[in-house]
Amino acid sequence: MSRVLVVGATGMIGSRVAADLDARGDDVTVMSRRGPSDRDPAAVAGFARLIGDYTDADGTPAPLEGFDAIVFSAGHDIRHVPAEQEDGDFWERVQGGGVPRFAARAKAAGVSRFVQIGSYYHQLHPEWTQRIPYVAARRDADERARALSDDGFAAITLNPPSIVGADERGLRRFARMIAWVRGDLDEPALFAPPGGTNYMSVRSLSQAVQGALDHGAAGRAYLVGDRNLSYREYFQLLADAAGSGNIIEERDEEHPFQPDRFIVQGRGTVISFEPDAAETDLLGYDRGDVERAIAEIVAGVDALP
């Protein structure tokens, strides 16, 4: 049994990771900026909690002492900041500088393994770092944290694609989308923007985290993923899982459920890849899990009071 600190465990990914680590027998503590509240996912409601902010430049290693491993799932992405606040200082604080500084504190505290959940853009398309500040910040967080690896400290990054899953709060956000694919909303029209990406279930990502903790090589970045889909195909899978007979068309327009600002690579651009088979086996995560995850979301929405 390992003592594992999950940073960002009140989010959808972190809460699933924390619950799965607890289920396999690890001693899990969650770290968040605030104390427990009724907004927290039920999966982490009873866990020990460390109150702290990983971006605190004055933070010390002391609170991290005694943990064998840290799973970092708190990195901000482009959805977490208004466009007018998205500047170099923000990305330095929450990504390029903030994450490596936190990893350095973990190393100084004697933590032996640090698994960062990053993002796939820079590993697939390093040239995008020249024009997209968010992608450059993700690269810096990834590379600078892994550069801390040595014989006593293994920093590992998992770079996943778009994640399919929902916690309690996420289900309520999905409820409007389910109503839309069922034709219960007058607007927007039943269309998807052009382009697409790779998708991966939160369950598969959580499995990959466990594999990285157990078997990941120090200083390595692993590109993980599952299924390549166009946005139209993704919306159609959601419609089919919801029992809708509606057909989603593709239209070159901005979509409220897939706004242009959240399509980092640009509307109409497709990101597709196949994860390395040997790395998939090493990390031990399931593929072919996206449709199951979508069906789980629909069932969860339908069960809402």
Annotate 68-131 with DSSP letters as a single string: SEEEE-----GGGS-GGG-SHHHHIIIIITHHHHHHHHHHHTT--EEEEE--SHHHH-GGGGGT
Span 3-162+199-227 CATH architecture: 3-Layer(aba) Sandwich (3.40)
What is the structure's pLDDT at 44?
82
Q: What is the DSSP letter of 297?
A: H
pTM of the model: 0.96
- Rounded Cα–Cα distance for residues 262 and 10 (Å): 22
What Å distances lie between residue 86 and 8, 74, 81, 82, 133, CA to CA? 21, 17, 6, 6, 9
Delimit the domains of the chain by residue range: 3-162+199-227, 166-197+228-273+288-302
Strands (E), the chain: 3-7, 27-32, 48-51, 69-72, 113-117, 154-159, 162-164, 191-192, 196-201, 221-223, 227-230, 249-250
- Rounded Cα–Cα distance for residues 292 and 300 (Å): 12
What is the structure's pLDDT at 34?
82
What is the structure's pLDDT at 79?
81
Low-confidence stretches of the chain (pLDDT < 50) are none
